[in-house]
Amino acid sequence: MGRERNEDGMDDVLAALRRAPFRLHRPSALKTPFVFASPHSGRAYPKSFVAQSRLSFNTLRRSEDAFIEELFLPVAEMGAPLIAASFPRAYLDVNRAPAEFDAAMFEGPLPFAVDQASPRVSAGLGVIPRIVREGAEIYRQKLSAEEASDRLAVFYRPYHDALAQLAHETKALYATAVVVDCHSMPSAAAVPDIVLGDRYGVSASPVLTRAAEEAFAAQGFSVARNVPYAGGYTTQLHGRPGRGCHALQIEINRALYMDEDAITPAPSFTNFAGRLAASLRMLLALDPAILVPRGLRHAAE
C-alpha cells in the first residue's frame, strides 16, 4: 500500500491532518514553567486508515484518550501552553521512541533502524501500532515501508519538534521547564483515580511529584505513583531534573468522566472537569524557583 495521499481528493480527513497534525493552545501570556501535552486524544480518523483496518470504527477508538484535550484545555487560561495531537493513537503513537517499529508489519525493509527488542513493539504497541486495546489486530494486510517513513515525517517529527520548542521557550524564561504528558487509563478495580509517572524519580524532582500528588489529593482523588504506568517516551525524552527539565505523566481513570464503551461523556463529566481544573491550578501555583537545580539557580540570578 502506498502513501495515503489526497491527490485524488478522496480523503479530506487525511489532507486536513497533513496540514495541521497537532493543535497548539497558547496562553495569552506565559505565567508558569509548565507545558502540557496530549499525545493520544486525537480523534480525526483518516478514511483511508479506517478502510485499511479490519476493525469497526468504535473498536479503533478503544486506544484513544478521549476528552483529555478538552479536560486539560483550562491550563491555557492559567498561563500554560497545551499541545494535542490531531491524529489518533491507533494511526500513530508519538509516545514511542522513533525506532520502535515492528518490521513484520511492512512490505520490504524499512529505510531506518528499528528496535525490534522493545517490549512495546513485541506487544504490538510501536509507533505505528499493530493492535488496539485488548489485542485486536488493526490492519487487513501489510503496509508499505514508504508509509512508515511518511507518517514519521508528516506527523511524528512535527509534533515532537513543536513540543521541544515549547519546552525550550519555557526554560529560557524560567530556567526550568515541566513537561506534563496527559493520558487516560481504562478503569479497573485495582486502578486508582490518578497515576503519576516520573519514571521512579528519574524524570522529575521529588518536589514536583509530591506537589502533584498533594494537588490531586486535595480534590479527593486517590493517587498512586508509577504503578501501573511509570511514564513513556515523552517523560524519558524530556525528563532531566539535574538540568532543570522535568517530565511528569498523568494518567486519569476513565470511569471518572466517561462511558468507556460508548466513548461519550458521563453525567459526572462537568463535576470532574471542575475538580481537575482546581487540582491543576494548585499545581501551577508551585514556585518555579524550587524546580531549578542549585547551580542553575545561581546562574539564572
CATH number at residue 51: 3.40.630.40
The residue-averaged pLDDT of 59-82 equals 97
Residue 33 domain-assigned (yes or no): yes
3-state secondary structure 200-268: CCCCCCHHHHHHHHHHHHCCCCCEEECCCCCCCHHHHHHCEHHHCEEEEEEEEEHHHCEECCCCEECCC
Containing domain of residue 255, as a range? Answer: 12-92+143-288
Q: Which amino acid is at 3?
A: R
Of 276, 294, 292, 274, nearest in space to 208 by CA: 292
| Mean pLDDT of the residues in the chain | 94
As a whole number, mean pLDDT of residues 283-290 equals 96
First to last CA, the chain: 56
Task: Give the model's confidence band at 296: pLDDT under 50 very low, under 70 low, under 90 confident, else very high.
Answer: low
Question: What is the pTM assigned to this prediction?
Answer: 0.94
Is residue 294 one of the residues assigned to a domain?
A: no
Q: What is the mean pLDDT of residues 77-85?
A: 98
Can you give the pLDDT at residue 209? 98
Of 147-161, 181-195, 257-271, the poorest mean pLDDT is in: 181-195
What is the b/e burial string over 71-81, where b = at least 16 CB atoms within 10 angstroms of the residue's CB? bbbbbbebebb
Residue 189: the pLDDT is 73
* Least confidently predicted of 16-25, 125-134, 194-203: 125-134
Q: Is residue 107 part of a domain?
A: no
- Note whether residue 47 is domain-resident: yes
Asked whether the predicted pLDDT for residue 132 surpasses 80, the reply is yes
Q: Which residues contact 17 (CB under 8 A, 6 or more apart)?
A: 44, 46, 86, 87, 155
pLDDT at 294: 78
Phi/psi at 81 (nearest 5 deg)? -80, 155
- In the predicted model, what is the mean pLDDT of residues 139-160? 97
109 pLDDT higher than 90 = yes
The predicted model gives 60-85 an average pLDDT of 97
Beta bridge partners of 24: 83
Residue 110 to residue 126: CA distance in whole angstroms: 14
What is the Cα–Cα distance from 196 to 178, expressed in whole angstroms?
14
**What local confidence, expressed as pLDDT, does residue 10 receive?**
63
pLDDT at 2: 43
Q: How confident is the model at residue 243 (pLDDT cuts 50, 70, 90)?
A: very high
State the total domains in the chain: 1
In a domain, 97, yes or no: no
The residue written with cell numbers 490531531 in the block is 86
Tell me whether residue 25 is in a domain. yes
Instruction: Compute the distance between CA of residue 1 and CA of residue 87 in angstroms, rounded to an integer.
Output: 20
Q: How far apart are CA 148 and CA 179, in angstroms?
A: 27
Question: How much is the pLDDT for 295?
Answer: 66
Q: Are 139 and 145 in contact (CB under 8 A)?
A: no
In a domain, 239, yes or no: yes
125 belongs to a structural domain:
no
Flag whether pLDDT at 299 surpasses 50: no
Are the C-beta atoms of residues 243 and 296 closer than 8 Å to each other? yes
Q: How far is CA 193 from the centre of its chain?
A: 18
Give the mean pLDDT of 188-217: 95
